[in-house]
Copies of this chain bind each other. A is one copy, B any other.
Amino acid sequence: MSNSFGSRYRFTIFGQSHAPAIGVTIEGLPSGFAPDMEALGAFLARRAPGQGAYSTTRKEADRPEFVAGLVDGHTCGAPVTAIIRNTNARSGDYESLRRVPRPGHADYTAFVKYGPGRDVAGGGQFSGRLTAPLCVAGGLALQLLAREGVSVRASILSIGGQTEPEAIRTALDRAKADGDSVGGVIQCQCTGVAAGLGEPMFGGMENRIAQAVFAIPAVKGVEFGAGFAAAALRGSENNDPFYFDADGAVRTRGNNHGGILGGITSGMPIVFRAAFKPTPSIALEQDSVDLVSRENVKLSVGGRHDPCIVLRAVPCVEAAAAVAIYDALLESRC
């Protein structure tokens, strides 16, 4: 009802942070396609933890094992399933997590929805770890899109409100020193997308990309082209005039529309931004409730924390864009 995305490039993600495995099953890959496993590994490595000073030290290889759908390294038409084993053992002590939900996390809403049986270890199915299988589906889509001349590139626009590298570094250092965290904004640009992808109304490219991007934990906003800034412009400023380019293609001067008009791609680059809230895991003491004793309590979350997940979220945004675009591309052929 929820772990699946897409209509023609359709995949289902499964797993929890401390289950034996996480993974994904993908339908819609063309038969005879040989995924570049090295490129996929490099893509996955970009979101892997334990890479720098600002990410958690949990180290997992995150090497997907393809248990179905490949023959001699080539797709055969059957659904492709990749699993990634969780090597971090489930520790025995989650009693406090079970009783006291962490502010900003899904602990409380998971309790309401799934009851006492919910998986609390490491955030369970709400863990950011589930973006690894998203990146498997997205990484393969990126390879297929590259064959069509489509390139998807995300980058950090701001962290903690800062846009300059030096200021970002300072913001990160301070947050880390304070046992606190910061959020940020990631921008994604997709070039080479043919005009005519997407469907009207609920099937528009904005609808699809938003549906995919909001699946990344901590995303609280998505905007296309000029986005929220367009709301303060006049039509004469915001409208992107059409013209015939030297190669005979119709293009627009400016790209306030972010490559999408009426939900359909215009042939201009798709440009969108995603707002990430600061990671809710912080070392500082916070107020919360004890769901068992039904008292207000103080919560201190031990362990080391990632002061900013935005760094690792960049490939996830690319993956989300890629699956939405590739799905629409396949649909456009029907």
Contacts and interface: CB of A to CB of B under 8 A. Distances in A.
Interface string A24-64: 01011001100000000000000000000000000000000
A238 B106 contact: no
Interface string A4-37: 1101101011111001111101011001100000
Copies of this protein chain in the complex: 4
Nearest to A195: B112
Nearest to A24: B25
A190 to B, nearest CB: 15
B210 A266 contact: no
B215 A207 contact: yes
A31 B220 contact: no
B183 A238 contact: yes
Contacts of A214: 204, 206-207, 210, 263
Contacts of A110: 77, 262, 264
A155 interface: no
Contacts of A228: 185, 220-221, 223, 228, 275
A333 interface: yes
A66 B119 CA distance: 15
B239 A104 contact: yes
Given A2-B201, A115-B32, A195-B109, A243 B289 contact: yes
A210 B207 contact: yes
Interface in A178-208: 178, 180-185, 195-196, 199-204, 206-208
A262 B181 contact: no
Contact of A67 (B31, B83, B210): B83
Given A204-B215, A235-B279, 11 more contacts: A1-B10, A13-B201, A19-B71, A77-B110, A77-B115, A78-B119, A79-B125, A158-B232, A183-B231, A220-B223, A235-B278
16 contacts: A4-B10, A4-B202, A12-B27, A12-B79, A31-B114, A76-B119, A77-B119, A109-B262, A109-B266, A126-B263, A210-B210, A220-B226, A220-B230, A220-B231, A230-B275, A233-B278
